[in-house]
Amino acid sequence: MADLQSTHPMPKTPTLPTRIEVRSSEIHGTGAFAAKALRRGSFIGCYTGRRYTADEVAAREWDHALTFVFGLSDGSVIDGAEGGNATRHINHSCAPNCVAYEIEPEEGDPWIEIEALRPIAAGSELFLDYGLDVWDGDPDAFPCRCGSEGCRGTLLAAAD
């Protein structure tokens, strides 16, 4: 992603974003929902959790059943399952209402910020397009259940 300048400082601790409620989702397991109405461009939160360097990522065996891993452009990842916050519960949709940006500071580690793509009503579930990039990934191994019009049927990134 582009080198972006953040208007929101990276939090020092994994706090629960006040704009998110976590509860059962009709799409998949647990979901994140707007606690209040959000305007387009509203800051929802930073994706937090344990960081793994690119070398640690390569050496680790990941549980592919359920993960909360967000990959960064430097090859490192943020694992929201370990010390993460409510943003880890944002489910996938092929018609997302949120977008994640990688913020690349001049110094320090990059981080992920999530914002609203369009106005979101209070109580609505929050969605990202995961756009998974899995080496030689079989689309059937990563099924999408979003049910949106134009659903790709997979969590994998759209074919170019």
Q: pTM, whole model, 2 decimals?
A: 0.84
Q: Are 132 and 156 in contact (CB under 8 A)?
A: yes
Token output for 26: 């009709």
pLDDT surpassing 80 at residue 14: no
Q: What is the pLDDT of residues 16-70, one digit of tens each?
A: 456 899 999 998 889 999 999 999 999 999 999 999 988 888 888 766 666 788 8
Amino acid (1-letter code) at residue 140: D
pLDDT at residue number 71: 87
pLDDT at residue number 135: 66
Confirm or reject CATH 3.65.10.10 for domain 20-43+88-141, answering yes or no.
no
CA geometry: angle 119, 23, 67, nearest 5 deg:
95
